Every structure is written in C-alpha cells, then in structure tokens.
C-alpha cells in the first residue's frame, strides 16, 4: 500500500511538470484531470490507512469536483472557443 502511495505521489509531480511544459490546452486539461484522479486516490489510500472520516469526504470532493466537473466545464469552454 505504501508503494502505491509513493507511486501516486511521484506521478502527481510528473504530471505537474508535463502540464507546465504542455503547449496544447486540451492536453493540459486532460493532464490536470489525470493528476486530480491520482491525487484523489492518494487521499483514499491515506484515508484507508488512517481511517479518518474527513479524508474520505476529501477524496469524494476531489474526485467529483476537480476530477470530473471542472475538466468537463473546461472542455466545454475550449469547444466553444474553437
């Protein structure tokens, strides 16, 4: 479980570096969505290990808002600006 948490933390950093270097907005939004999913699952791993309720809520909020709603809205904006 600790190896998975370390891997997810490393991948969050890698996607952050790739996002800064990305010249394409659609790719940057996709990377941001992937990063949000990895961050939320990292929070879930910590919540399972510590069994703290508010971390489960943080996992759900991060996954729903930062992982789904915000990227969908950004894709809609990008599509309208085309």
- 30 φ/ψ angles, rounded to the nearest 5 degrees: -65, -40
pLDDT of residue 67: 95
pLDDT of residue 21: 87
* Separation between Cα atoms, residue 28 and residue 57, nearest integer Å: 26
Q: Are 5 and 45 in contact (CB under 8 A)?
A: yes
pLDDT truncated to tens, each residue of the chain (82 aa)? 889 889 988 998 999 999 888 889 999 999 999 999 999 999 999 999 999 999 999 999 999 999 999 999 999 999 998 7
């Amino acid at each position: 479980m600790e190896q998975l948490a370390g891997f997810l933390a490393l991948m969050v950093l890698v996607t952050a570096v790739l996002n800064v270097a990305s010249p394409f907005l659609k790719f940057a939004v996709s990377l941001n969505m992937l990063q949000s999913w990895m961050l939320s699952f990292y929070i879930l791993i910590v919540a399972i290990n510590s069994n703290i309720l508010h971390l489960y809520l943080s996992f759900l909020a991060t996954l729903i808002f930062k992982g789904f709603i915000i990227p969908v809205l950004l894709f809609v904006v990008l599509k309208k600006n085309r």
